[in-house]
Amino acid sequence: MIKYILFALSLHIAYGLSASEALPVDAFAAYDMKYSNIQRVDNFAEQQYLGSIQQPDSYWFSTHLPFEVQQFKNLVSYGERVAVNQRLAILSGHGLELYLADLENKKTLRSLAKQQYDSHKRLFKNKSIDATTWQQISQNYMEIKQAYDLIAHAAEFLQEENGQMFLLAPSDGVYLKSEDMAEQLSVTIASDEGVWLQLDVPANSMDNNTKLTHQACQFEVRRIENNSNGVAARVWAKLVSDDCSYQYYQRIRVAQSRQETLFQVPTNSVALLGDTEVIFVARDGEIMPLPVVTKAVRDEQYIIAASLEPNDKLVMNYTGVVKGAFMALGTD
């Protein structure tokens, strides 16, 4: 340290320097200083994650059919793309039979109630019946019609042929599942709203617009759902590249692409000045310490983030001498 203090004293005498953020390059003329360009690192992936091709449930379309099925045979595998009204499965069982019988019964009742409603409507207009009678007939028809409509929507997704009952796709998209839920058959389709990737990551490790890459394809984070424990987060990223194809539920490993510009420097060029990691750069005739953040180590090189300017040169040797000079002058 004594030699650095003496060196700093000579700088003070020669240049009038004290604590400063930069020293003239000429101050190190006695040393055979070497400088080099600083290599930029493009598309460096600091972290990799395993995710699954899925869609947020806000893009799901679910329909609930008011019956249970005892036998269910899929004609399409879960995760396959389907078109509206495409046959998904063959249904059978007592629950389906009861539903069809109930539907036919309510349809007949609705037809009879409609006939009564229409005929008495004319009588009421002619004042052949009183308002109370007309109100009772109207209310009876509306209740019967509502009961029929409540279960009739399910028939839109059923198709009978040769004694078999087929379940039809309620919309275009990806067939996710069919399951019994509380005496109902639930059918879920993921809509055609692009390709999405679901993955779980450490909390605060990503933000919206973070780029994730898989081979030549790129995803962009659009939604982050932080867990209540504050440790992990569920991330949804949308595919933004063209000409990329994935299967639903396909698991892929993606790399997190950094938004910041990163650089590569030899490990021995990074020094600790006070509590701060720095490199020393030559800029406009001066040598200055530049704070860095080390992201990774690769082949005896540090991958760093730093506020470099285009013409900056890295001090390659005598790093200890430069550091000692700044320390002796009081720079921290």
Q: What pLDDT does 52 receive?
A: 95
Angle between helices 319-329 and 2-15 in degrees, nearest 10: 70
Write down the domain spans for the chain.
2-44+260-329, 46-57+192-257
Burial of 328 (0-12, 13-18, 19+ CB in 10 A): buried
pLDDT tens figures, 231-273 = 788 899 999 998 898 988 899 999 886 667 788 899 888 888 7
Question: What's the start-to-end Cα distance of the chain, in Å?
Answer: 16
Mean pLDDT of 201-224: 86
Mean pLDDT of 111-130: 91
* CA pair distance 61, 47, nearest whole angstrom: 34
Is the pLDDT reported for residue 14 higher than 50?
no
Is the pLDDT reported for residue 13 higher than 60?
no
pLDDT tens figures, 150-192 = 899 889 999 999 889 999 998 888 898 888 877 888 899 988 7
pLDDT tens figures, 71-81 = 889 999 998 88
Per CATH, domain 46-57+192-257 is 3.10.20.30 = no
Mean pLDDT of 212-238: 85
Using left for φ > 0, alpha for ψ between -120 and 50, and beta otherwise, residue 274 falls in left
Query: pTM here?
Result: 0.55
Which of 41-45, 63-67, 207-211 has the largest mean confidence?
63-67
CATH of domain 2-44+260-329: 2.40.420.20
Is the pLDDT reported for residue 10 higher than 50?
no
Q: What pLDDT does 112 receive?
A: 95
